[in-house]
């Protein structure tokens, strides 16, 4: 039952009368890229699409994994500054959430 004692069928009819369309999408993965390069990834999510007066709204539910995407330029700069390989620089950047100064200090053994 929905709040107020309304059953789902009646709620669906009311939404249809008001021009609201609601569908569940068959999604396998949803990836959202945030500013700063961080990604939020939903594996096997439940995705609802609601269309109200031509405007689409997506609701995503499920477990998430967060990833930080490191730009190649940052990797190269850290590798050069710390005099290490790009693989080591990338690992240090990932461990420090993309913070270049922290990654360089760690690689040089200067971290606090």
How many angstroms separate the Cα of 75 from the Cα of each of 28, 37, 43? 31, 14, 28
Same domain for 19 and 64, yes or no, is yes
Share of the chain above pLDDT 90, in %: 54
Count of structural domains, the chain: 2
Give the model's pLDDT for residue 4.
65
* pTM of this structure: 0.55
DSSP class of residue 31 equals E
Same domain for 36 and 49, yes or no, is yes
Quote the CA–CA distance of 52 and 34 in Å, as a whole number.
26
Domain presence at residue 103? yes
Tens of pLDDT, residues 59-104: 999 999 887 778 899 999 999 999 999 999 999 998 888 899 999 9
The better pLDDT of the pair 26, 111 is held by 26
Same domain for 26 and 57, yes or no, is yes
Domain presence at residue 57? yes
Domain residues for the domain of 63 are: 3-68
């Amino acid at each position: 039952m929905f709040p107020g004692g309304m059953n789902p069928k009646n709620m669906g009819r009311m939404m249809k009368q008001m021009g609201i369309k609601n569908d569940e999408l068959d999604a396998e993965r949803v990836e959202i890229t945030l500013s700063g390069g961080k990604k939020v990834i939903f594996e096997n999510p439940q995705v609802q699409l609601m269309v109200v007066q031509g405007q689409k709204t997506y609701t995503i539910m499920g477990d998430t994994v967060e990833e930080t995407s490191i730009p190649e330029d940052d990797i190269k700069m850290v590798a050069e500054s710390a005099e290490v390989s790009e693989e080591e620089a990338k690992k240090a950047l990932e461990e420090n959430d993309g913070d270049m100064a922290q990654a360089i200090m760690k690689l040089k053994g200067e971290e606090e």
